[in-house]
Each structure stands twice: as structure tokens, then as C-alpha cells.
Structure 1
């Protein structure tokens, strides 16, 4: 039986490990996967993350309890599994994620009658040292937008697309997956808003400003028609082969635009999201409004950006106040 401790530095082969699990475990995993996808509406990569963690847990249970079945999954098994993960070098954030995955599984298994009790609530979540995200200053963000705009001056369709991409990301703070999932019908240029489908298939409306609108206008009139191959393709942003734009291409685009600005921190699309949120708060926006714009499920997530603004204020005070 495969151990519940994959070797450090090697990725867990989900298919192989699942194939070696008892049939009862495999059936539970299939049902749990349907629950995550259909009932909770989680994104495919999120579902894969949950399953990878639970497969590791069940492999550990099978190696430990033999033929005892799923009912042997108790808090001592959970703690021993996490202890093995810690010994193998898992970080605090990884342990916290795996704890959350295990608790989601045991809660579901209890509600569906697969477990007599739910041991998950007795499993403590490892504390995480939450680092503050790197953000661009307003002048650095302006420099990145200008660098992207200068690249689009010759009218190359890819350059026009890239300029529209960075302008929209910075103007709206949307996630890269949300940006790539936008269709033509999701853009209302008359009122300058986007209809965004976020995590859990939750829909929200996000405004954007005149610079992003201008970049979108050039992309739609001069860039997109030169890349589209299939007239039925409704994607707003296209790749060089005419299909829907890939998140990897967006990351390269943002990296190049920000990299053109001297002294700016290296970042991808999520860095522009952090920057947009921070500058909204510095400009006087309230937390609830920023939470709604970003699509955060809880206000606690949005509150991280208040710490960023406070740290920046402290730095300014230290540099400028005569009695700092």
C-alpha cells in the first residue's frame, strides 16, 4: 500500500494512489468530488487541490488501519497524518490548506453517513505567518501602463491585447481566471462595467475607467478581429492562435509590463489586484466597497490591505517627519 507520506519534492500521483486505495475509499472520493464540483461549485483547480490532500489522507488511513474502513478515520489518524506531512517538510501554509481539506472531507462524510462522528472540528488549524503582498506605487503602476501603451502604438494585435489586459486588470482588480473567462457580452462599454463570474460561480459587476475603456476599444476594433479564427468564439481576450487567452500568457504580459519600470517589485496579475485594492483604500474607499469589487467572501480577506496601507504610511512617516 502506498504510504500517506509522498517523498519530499515529488508530486503525489493521484491516479496511481487512487487506484491502490480500497474500493470504499475510491467511491467516497468520487462522491466527494461531485459534491465539491456540483454542490459547492468550486473551480476545477480547487477541486483537484482538495482531492490531492484527501487522497494522501486516505492513503495514510489505509496503510495505518488496513481493512478497518473509512469509519476508522478519527482525530488521532488526522493528527498523525499531519505530523507526517510536517516531518516531510510541509510549510505552515501547506499544512493549513491540508487541514482545511481534511475538515471539509470529514464534515461531508459525517453528513452523508460515512462517518459516525466528525473528527474535523477537533483538528486545530496551524497558524500562518501572513506576509504582506508586494504592491506598486501609483507612479509605478502608471509607468507599467505607459510601457504597455508604448508597445501597442504600432497597432500589433497582440500588443493591443496586452495593453488592454494590463489596463483592465489594474482598473478592476479582477483575478486572472476571471479575466480569461470574460466573454464579449460581459463588457458594457456604455456604462463602463464588467460582469464577472468569480469563485463559486458568484456573479458581480465591476466598474472600470476611461483608460481601460480606451485600451479595450482599440483591442476590439483593431486587434481582436485580426486574431479571431472562429466567428462563434465569444471570448473577450484571445491567444495568438485565436482561442481563449491562457492565464500563463497573462502572467507573462504583466511581468513584462511591470518589469519595464525601474525599482518596481516583480509581480504577476495578482500583484496588480493587490495594487488596485491598496490604492482604492488609500484613496478613501471603504472596506465593504472594496470587498464587493474584489469578490472576497469575507471582510477579513479584504482587511489584509489595510495593513498594507498602514505599513506604507509608517514608511512615509519615517522618511519625512522630523521627529519620526
Structure 2
């Protein structure tokens, strides 16, 4: 039944690969809890057991966001099982999930963002040409790899901040998604939704440098159509992006702890501070709901003060 539920999540509910993996892991946890409670058969699943599962995790200190996701899994799975006849009724229909509190991630100031994007390490000098083989060639190859990776990392940061991409959207970009003439990216976001996102002049320069002198050196048969590649030649992994950001933050002597999502949030905040309207920022970020953008792009005290002084008759 797990395979059928997986197909349901992908084909009928259009869940992302990340959500599918998380739901299937949560389902395994629910089954383990049910087995410990003596409910070895799916037909024995009931509302009290589901509430007990969530309560046990709450007592154990599981984060509210994780609790909310697992409650969502329970509702989605039980509705699926009831429709397929595995359950006589949807036992999770009255299950209430944990209320989550959205926390604003760490962001950079505009000045710190400029410092970060200017923090590229100096290019490695080419190896001495005294030896045409052996150690000399190995050193030259290693130096070219370092230069290619540095060009890639420049582009990664430019697109994360300059285009406000999610890390999964960044790593999912293909060569055919780039419209260099109009400086637009075709981005596939959550739920398979596509949008066009602009990129700036610095990102365009980084893109051309990467395509000219970086990607061809790293590319292997595993590269396919991927725009960004790892050192082994395959599509760039989100974990590598987080590592790139961590190292560049250290190189720029900026405080540790910023995530790719924080860089995306910084981009949105700086757009608002620059005068962009909330609806445009929603489109830029690819949010389905404006309410998400309102939470995500917090209003800074300075912008609130400026709006108050401009608009309020008693200011």
C-alpha cells in the first residue's frame, strides 16, 4: 500500500519529491507507534491512536512545524486509505494539527550582502609549465577545477540572492531554463508551478563566465542538461549549496548561521525596502498565497516609520 500512497502523493496531490520523502518517513513512524500500541492492522487505526501519536511527540519536544506536517500526513493518508477501502471511515477527519509559528530567518543587511557577493577567493595561478606530464599536469588540473568551482559558486550566490530562488529551484535549473537575452529564468517551484524570474547584470556576467570556463571543465556524462554541476560532474546537490554559502560567509568575515533560505529572505526584504509592492514580491518568490508573502517579508521598522510619516495626517 505504501507504493500506492506514494503514487497518490505524486500523481494526484502533486507533492514535491521532498514532501513525498517526508510523508513516507512520517508514515513509517506512525506505523511503528501503532504497532507499539498493539494496533498491528491498519483497520485498527483510530482517532485516539492518532492523537496519542502526536501527543507523544509533543511531550518529546518535537518542533511545532514537524508536528503540523505529521498531522497533515495523518489526514492525507487516512483520507486516501478510506477512499481505497483500507479503512471503513476517514478516522483523521477531526484531527487538529499543531499550530505553527513562522519564524523570520536570519537575514543580511544590504551592505553585508554586497560584501558576501564580493568575497570570491582569488583565482588559483596556473601551475608552472616546466613539466608537461605527471605532477605538473595534476596540479594544473586541480587548479582548473578550483577555478571552475569558484565560477560556479559566484553564480550560485548571485542567483540565490539576485533572483531569490529556493535552493531546490536553483539546483533544478537546466540549461534550457535560461533566457540570457531577456535575463529570465524558467523556475519550477513548489507544486510543480512554473514562473519566470529575472536575474541581474552581475548574475548575467557570472553565468557567462561559468558557461565559458567553468561548466565545460566539470561536465561529465552525468551532467545531462543541468545548469549547475558538482565537482564530480553531476547535478549540483542542495547540501553543496549550503556548504558554499557557509564557506563564503567565513571568507567574508560575516556571522555564521545564514542559510540559502535566509539569503532568499534577504532578497525579498531588500526589494520591499527599495519600494517594491507586496504583489510583485509574491510573484518574484513564487508564493501561491499573498498571506505567505506577508509573513515571509516582514516590514522593517524603518520602512514602517517612512510609510507612517508619508501617509498619516498626524505624523
Which bin holds the TM-score, normalised by the shorter protein?
0.7 to 0.9
Within 2, Cα distance between the matches of 1:37 and 1:211?
Answer: 37
Q: Match of 2:285?
A: 294
1:31 Cα shift? 1.4
1:81 Cα shift? 1.3
Q: Match of 2:247?
A: 256
1:232 Cα shift? 7.2
Q: Which moved more, 1:160-169 or 1:93-102?
A: 93-102
Q: Match of 2:135?
A: none
Within 2, Cα distance between the matches of 1:128 and 1:104?
Answer: 18
CA contact (8 A) 1:134 1:265 kept: no
Within 2, Cα distance between the matches of 1:311 and 1:111?
Answer: 50
Within 1, Cα distance between the matches of 2:44 and 2:24?
Answer: 19
Superposed counterparts of 1:36-55, under 5 Å: 36-55=9-28
1:45 Cα shift? 2.8
Q: How many matched pairs?
A: 287
The 3-state SS of whatever aligns with 2:187 is strand
The 3-state SS of whatever aligns with 1:120 is coil
Q: Match of 2:139?
A: none
Is 2:198 the counterpart of 1:201? Answer: no
Superposed counterparts of 1:1-324, under 5 Å: 27=1, 29-66=2-39, 69-148=41-120, 151=122, 156-230=147-221, 233-264=224-255, 266-306=257-297, 308-311=298-301
Within 2, Cα distance between the matches of 1:229 and 1:136?
Answer: 36
Within 2, Cα distance between the matches of 1:301 and 1:151?
Answer: 40
The 3-state SS of whatever aligns with 1:124 is coil
1:98 Cα shift? 1.2
Q: Match of 1:16?
A: none
State the Cα RMSD in Å. 2.6
The 3-state SS of whatever aligns with 1:89 is coil
CA contact (8 A) 1:71 1:115 kept: yes
**What's the CA shift string for 1:219-242, capped at 9, x where partnerless?**
111211222233973211112222
Return the TM-score normalized by structure 2.
0.82
CA contact (8 A) 1:193 1:207 kept: yes
Within 2, Cα distance between the matches of 1:281 and 1:294?
Answer: 12
CA contact (8 A) 2:105 2:261 kept: no
Within 2, Cα distance between the matches of 1:32 and 1:315?
Answer: 51
Within 2, Cα distance between the matches of 1:95 and 1:262?
Answer: 36
Q: Which runs of 5+ in 2 are unaligned?
A: 126-143, 307-315
Return the TM-score normalized by structure 1.
0.80
**Structure 2 vs 1, CA of residues 57 and 229 (structure 1 numbering), >3 Å: closer, same or farther?**
closer
1:114 Cα shift? 2.9
Within 2, Cα distance between the matches of 1:56 and 1:274?
Answer: 32
Within 1, Cα distance between the matches of 2:253 and 2:232?
Answer: 32
The 3-state SS of whatever aligns with 2:300 is helix
